[in-house]
Structure 1
Amino acid sequence: MVDQAGPDTLQLSVAIIDAQEADTSLKAASYVPIPLGLPGAKMATMQTLQHTAGKPPFAGQVTVEGKVTDASTGTLVAAMIDRRVGARKPIIGLFESSTYDAWSDVTEAERYWAEQVRYRFCVRRGDSNCTQASE
């Protein structure tokens, strides 16, 4: 990291375009089984909600865009835009603390992007021990 532009330095700019928290009360309630008298009703409802919203029901999401420029000249080196959506985990999700944290999906996306940027810079430097971002 440097505190002023110079040769062989890059500037990374990132902006969060959209962030939506998860609905934790409904997310947790979605793990409660439906009575046996309504076979398939819960699955049909969850699938309808997913197709309507384009994401798993009650999940959070975040969209970012960013660019990397040569710090000396301002020349664009790379640009990106990405949207990450939380995932609904199997029944074990009921017991995970992230199910009850409204911003956990956004936090997980930010962790992923940070690891991805680190990995790509590592590869560009030619290092041999670069660790890919984990999903």
Structure 2
Amino acid sequence: MMWRSVLLSMAVSVAFAGCGATRHARSVEPSGFLRDLSAQMREGKGDEALLVYRNPAVDWQAKAAYRKILLDPVMIWRGTDSKVDGLDPKEAQVIADSFYALLYQELAKDYEMVSEPGPKTFRMQAALTDAEQSYPALDIVSSVPAPFNIAFVASTIKTLTTGKPLFKGAASIEGKLMDAESGEILAAAVDRRVGGRFLDAEVFDSWNDVHGALKYWSQLTRFRLCQLRKQPNCVSPGS
């Protein structure tokens, strides 16, 4: 029994030694929420979303003068292979509502949040297209390096091949930014994030990785709009 106690102690130490932040997945499959727009998207670079679209006809300098945002409720988009389909509807709604609250909270720092379309107003729509729980207890055990734990090897192999560590959570979203008055689509993105290699202080919350991804996307959205306005002190995610 002693070796089990030692193993658990090592696992917890390793798990809490690293950063619990989420990270980009290797790839993402559009769900259909953006319809034909996905065919015009390019692969993202650096910290951009995995798939990105920017309307080439848009005068971005003029859009930088917009100071209002109409944020639609976050949708739950159930594509053909979406994991959202397997979630309890109430649980999925809580996740979508949490994303809306996080987005609203971030955007309200820089914009007047409105409920009706109008001039010089952005309209933002987002959809949760996938959400996977993590398995905290198994994740702790998988964090113990080999040769002590064969699960570490399995997790490492899965991470190298798929970009998602074994037992970690994940989330995918699609979103678009429009001119609220004309309905013109200005930009769009498809992204997927997975749990980091280690756990954070909320180690036993199976939705912690998903919440971390939603928080990151909310902060990133504010950051991108701040860059659009060419402000000097834009706050990047995690700062």
Q: Scaled by the length of structure 2, what TM-score is found?
A: 0.48
Counterparts of 2:162 and 2:140, CA distance in 1: 18
**Partners of 2:119 and 2:181 within 8 A in 1:** yes
Query: What's the counterpart of residue 131 of structure 2?
Result: 19
Q: 1:63 aligns with which of 154, 172, 191?
A: 172
Q: Which letter does structure 2 place at the counterpart of 1:83?
A: R
Distance 1:103 1:40, change over 3 A: closer
Structure 2 counterparts to residues 1-80 of structure 1, below 5 A? 1-32=113-144, 38=147, 41-51=150-160, 54-80=163-189
Counterparts of 2:149 and 2:206, CA distance in 1: 28
Q: Which of structure 1's runs of 4+ aligned residues deviate more than 6 A?
A: none
Counterparts of 2:233 and 2:211, CA distance in 1: 26
Structure 2 counterparts to residues 118-133 of structure 1, below 5 A? 118-133=222-237
CA offset at residue 10 of structure 1? 0.7
Q: Which letter does structure 2 place at the counterpart of 1:67?
A: K
CA offset at residue 86 of structure 1? 0.3
Cα RMSD, aligned residues only: 2.2
CA offset at residue 43 of structure 1? 4.1
CA offset at residue 100 of structure 1? 1.3
**Partners of 2:176 and 2:186 within 8 A in 1:** yes
CA offset at residue 98 of structure 1? 2.4
Distance 1:105 1:78, change over 3 A: same
Aligned length: 127
Q: Scaled by the length of structure 1, what TM-score is found?
A: 0.82
**Partners of 1:27 and 1:58 within 8 A in 2:** yes
Counterparts of 1:53 and 1:120, CA distance in 2: 28
Counterparts of 1:112 and 1:39, CA distance in 2: 34
Structure 1 unaligned segments of length 5 or more: list them.
none
Identity level (%): 35
